[in-house]
Homo-oligomer: A and B are copies of this chain.
Amino acid sequence: MFKILDCTLRDGGYYTNWDFDTAQVDTYIQSLNRLPVEYIELGYRSHPMKAYHGKYFYCPVYELERIKKLSNKKLAVILNEKEVSAQNVGDLLQPCSGLVDLVRIAVTPQNLGNSLALAEKIKTVGFEVALNVMYMSKWPQQNNLPTNLKQLDGLADYFYMVDSYGGVYPEDVKQTIAMVREHTLCKIGFHGHNNLELALINTLSAIDNGADIVDATILGMGRGAGNLKTELLLSVLNTKHQLQVDFNALGNAVDCFEPLLQKHQWGTNVPYMISGTNSLPQKDVMDWVTTRLYSFNSIVRALQNQKNNISDNQKCELFKPQKQYSKVLIIGGGPSATSHADAVKQFISRFDDIALVHASSKNSASYKDLDVDQFYCLVGNEGDRLEKAFARAPFNGTCVLPPYPRKMGTYVPPFVSEKAFEVEKVTFTDKVTDSHAALALQTALELKPNEIFIIGYDGYAGGINETQMTLIQENEYLFGEFEKYAGIKLQSLTPTRYKKLNVSSVYTFI
């Protein structure tokens, strides 16, 4: 009979930064005590890292001891092969002796050979060892895999096939198991991802073809599109293999992660499907999807570029404006740029060499009838926005894009294709080069003004989300760097909460 390993805390930690509520962990552990699961993987063991990661990224001994008392299951932790060497793995694992039963090593197929010494060292410390070899859909391109597989016998307890991209089919699982079996007698494990909702059927295929252990997580909680759902596997095995399942315990385990699902909303979606079907890396996709900063179509475009192995599919002419302007007015996306539009237009009309730079096209409709030179920054979704704003009006402006290649690809609406240019470089900072403010400031810089005014950078009164908070901090940083670099003060004519802007009122000019 095959075994089941539940790795909800370890894999779910990608959404919570490996912090979980203690009461929640206890309910989870106690519920699993009543379910037919062999191992619980609690998290990583890791050397200190610079970013913040929580309790289950380090699995401190006091927590392992606490859970050991609560649980009647075997406990597992995982290591990243690239961050741990055979030399220092003893320091990391010795303290877990007697608490942890199984140590898993996450390793790329390329590094499988190197990881064998690590596995051997871990065995000597006294643990069971599993090698979780990633990127299964790309194994056919790994020539040295058979050689490495032959060395596993008597060394590792489990050889795991990890469908990192969530893109394999049941038939692939069958064939890969046959291939692995040709070279080693090591027990075989399978860890499936759910990008294409194939985690269950792939896992059943693994079981049917002799896998000895399979992974699952409650509600499928896990990086990106997530994993096979423990509740789905157990429900199916209950009827298919007459496995005894205490559905009350299962229900309690599910209930305790439900609030996290509501909050983080993991699960598959079109970006994850595309990365699954094309074996594309998912770390970026997860960042893009979870910050909700990019439109769905931007993500799809970026993925299509990755799929075609190009960093961007469109190069524009460089933005080298012939004309100079003594004054530039940057127009942000905040509501004040439209609510004060009458005054701002009066202000604009007082100068004969002023240019407008639209950081966002949000307020562009309020200014489209003006007879001055206008520049539109196309970052993120602004191409779509511009298209809508000028659906029924002639477009006489110039479009400016961030430097090539653009991480999320390029969308230039067809009607402005003759009027679209890209800046060569964002010169005043290296840190943030594809934001609205960075591009607007760089565009302003290229127009060589003596004075720069700003409207529509209102800031937020509070009640903001993480994305908005990040944006505020980024903008403050950019305003500061720009003033230092260009020696031009940024003067806001409408109310703003940005501390780095110098504020005056548009009404003092008219």
Contacts and interface: CB of A to CB of B under 8 A. Distances in A.
A200 interface: yes
Contact of A300 (B240, B248, B277): B248
A198 interface: yes
A236 B276 CA distance: 9
Contacts of A319: none
Interface residues of A, number: 36
A212 interface: no
Given A254-B296, A296-B251, A300-B247, A199 B197 contact: yes
A263 to B, nearest CB: 13
A34 to B, nearest CB: 13
Contacts of A255: 296
B201 A170 contact: yes
A196 B236 contact: yes
State the number of copies, please: 2
Interface in A247-287: 247-248, 250-252, 254-255, 268-270, 273-274, 276-278
A30 to B, nearest CB: 15
A196 B204 CA distance: 12
A6 interface: no
Interface in A130-170: 169-170
B235 A273 contact: yes
A194 interface: yes
B270 A251 contact: yes
A253 B463 CA distance: 31
A250 B301 CA distance: 12
A286 to B, nearest CB: 17
B201 A239 contact: no
A349 interface: no
Contacts of A278: 239
A300 to B, nearest CB: 5
A304 interface: yes
21 contacts: A170-B170, A170-B201, A194-B197, A197-B197, A197-B232, A198-B200, A198-B201, A231-B270, A231-B273, A232-B268, A235-B270, A235-B274, A235-B276, A235-B277, A236-B273, A236-B277, A238-B277, A247-B270, A248-B300, A254-B269, A254-B296
6 closest pairs, A vs B, by CB?
A: A235-B273, A239-B277, A251-B296, A197-B197, A247-B300, A201-B201
